[in-house]
Structure formats: structure tokens, C-alpha cells
Amino acid sequence: MNSFEINKIVAAVIVTVLIVFGIGKISDVIFYKDSNVVAYKVEAPEGSSVQTSTESSVDMSTFLAMGDVSTGEKQFKKCKACHSINKDGRNNIGPKLWNVMFRPVGSITDYKYSKALSSYKKEWNWEEMNGFLIKPAKWIKGNKMGFAGLKDEKERASVILYLNQNSDNPKELP
Ligand code: HEC
């Protein structure tokens, strides 16, 4: 065996290693993408209809228990630029939010909603409000609320409790 042949063998080994390593990488990427798709499907809003009502109310009570009204009041500063919350508050850039929990979506008569909201035909129950506030643009496509969302669970639960509190008739927590 001369040194030229040894070189060829070494080269072949290196190429093999590269190929094996390369395939590993590629399948990593494919696997990663796949798992992303699955994760997305699970958290998609449409999926929530799959849950039974008992399941989701158990989840909601655990979720809402993370919040407290005074944190909600502080967090609501993020909403105040566009929304009033007091009983005698007015519409602003966004509709007035007194009594918003459990009223039909898009139902303030002297506020001009987007079509997305006025034709949504649901009420602001715990699940809807939670889903909406995570990422408004994703939950009701085409709505015009210019707010990115509240990712933090405690902050979001707190704001929902605060909204519930600012009502003629605060609802009992699930
Ligand atoms: C930059 C302005 C802006 C901010 C900030 C904002 N909103 Fe809004 N919000 C709007 C607008 C505009 C609408 C009406 C959307 C439409 O008609 O599509 C709206 C609609 C809503 C609705 C629907 C009310 C109804 O009558 O159906 C809720 C609930 C709401 N906002 C809650 C919040 C909360 C809670 C926050 C803070 C965490 C917040 N918004 C922050 C502008 C804002």
C-alpha cells in the first residue's frame, strides 16, 4: 500500500463521517420542524373546542388562581392608553370596558368595531378573554386592537380578574 492509497482511504473515511453527520443534522432539522407543527396545532385556538367544558373550567380555575386584582390594576396601565374601565368611562381608541366580562363580543352600540369583532358572535367568557389577551391579532383575525398581548400568565390572569371586578355584577370565579 503506498501513501497515495492510504490518503484515499483516509479521504473515504472523512467523507463517510461527514455524510453520516450531515444526515443526522438534516433529520434533526426535519424532526424539529415536525415537532413545531404539532406544538402549534395543540395551542391553536380552534383546538379549544376539542376540550370538554369540565376540563377547561378546571384549567381556568387553576389559571385564574394565579392572578390577583391589584396586580391586574397595575397591568391595566398597559390598556389605559386606549380603554376606560370606570363605570362612567367613555369609548376611546378602544371601546369602554366597564362590564366587559360576559357581555357579547363587540356589543357597545356607540363604538365602531372592526368587522372581525362585530361579527364574532361569542361572549367574553374566561376562555375567550384569556385567548384574546395572549395575542389579540391571532385569536380574532383582522381585529384592529393594536396591542401585542400579555404573554405572562400571572399578568394575564390578573388583568382578567380586574376586568371582572369592574362590573355591576362580578362573576364568581370558576
Ligand atoms: C393601542 C390601543 C389599545 C390598547 C393598548 C389595548 N386595546 Fe383593547 N381594543 C383596542 C381597539 C381599537 C379595540 C376594538 C378592536 C376592533 O374593533 O377590532 C379593542 C378591543 C378590546 C376588547 C373587546 C371589547 C368589546 O367590547 O368586545 C377588549 C376586551 C380589550 N380590547 C381589552 C384590552 C385589554 C385588557 C388591554 C390591555 C391589556 C387592551 N385592550 C389594550 C385598542 C387597544
Whole-number pLDDT of residue 16: 65
How far is Cα 50 from Cα 47, in angstroms, rounded to an integer?
5
CATH classification of the domain holding 93: 1.10.760.10
Asked whether 137 lines ligand 1 (CB < 6 A), one says no
Mean pLDDT for the chain overall: 84
Domain carrying residue 29: 1-43
Other C-beta atoms within 10 Å of 149: how many? 15
Using CA atoms, how far residue 80 sits from 35, 91, 123, 164, in Å, is 38, 11, 22, 16
In total, how many domains does the chain have?
A: 2
Q: Is 83 in the same domain as 139? A: yes
Asked whether 101 lines ligand 1 (CB < 6 A), one says no
Contact between residue 62 and residue 157 where contact means Cβ atoms under 8 Å apart: no
Q: Is 122 in the same domain as 88? A: yes
Q: How far is the CA of 165 from the centre of ligand 1 (A)?
A: 17
Q: Is pLDDT of 146 > 70? A: yes
Whole-number pLDDT of residue 7: 76
- Whether 19 is in a domain gets the answer yes
- Whether 122 is in a domain gets the answer yes
How far is Cα 163 from Cα 165, in angstroms, rounded to an integer?
5
Using CA atoms, how far residue 68 sits from 64, 81, 114, 149, in Å, is 8, 22, 31, 18
What is the average per-residue pLDDT within 160-172?
98
pLDDT tens digits for range 99-111? 999 999 999 999 9
Confidence label for 34 from pLDDT (cuts 50, 70 and 90): very low
Q: Which range has the worst mean pLDDT, 13-27, 88-102, 129-143, 148-162?
A: 13-27
- Whether 35 is in a domain gets the answer yes
Q: How far is the CA of 32 from the centre of ligand 1 (A)?
A: 35
Contact between residue 99 and residue 89 where contact means Cβ atoms under 8 Å apart: no
Confidence label for 18 from pLDDT (cuts 50, 70 and 90): low
Asked whether 78 lines ligand 1 (CB < 6 A), one says yes
Q: Is 39 in the same domain as 56? A: no
Nearest CA to ligand 1 atom 28: 97
pTM for this structure?
Answer: 0.75
Q: How far is the CA of 37 from the centre of ligand 1 (A)?
A: 29
Whole-number pLDDT of residue 58: 63
Q: Is 83 in the same domain as 126? A: yes
Confidence label for 33 from pLDDT (cuts 50, 70 and 90): very low
Nearest CA to ligand 1 atom 41: 79
Q: Is 21 in the same domain as 57? A: no
Nearest one of 39, 49, 42 to 127, comparing CA atoms:
49
Q: Is 125 in the same domain as 68? A: yes
For residue 26 the three cell numbers come to 438534516
Q: Is pLDDT of 53 > 60? A: no
- Whether 130 is in a domain gets the answer yes
Contact between residue 155 and residue 70 where contact means Cβ atoms under 8 Å apart: no
More confident residue, 108 or 52: 108
Q: Is pLDDT of 76 > 90? A: yes
Nearest one of 78, 76, 82, 90 to 165, comparing CA atoms:
76
Q: Is pLDDT of 157 > 80? A: yes
For residue 113 the three cell numbers come to 368595531
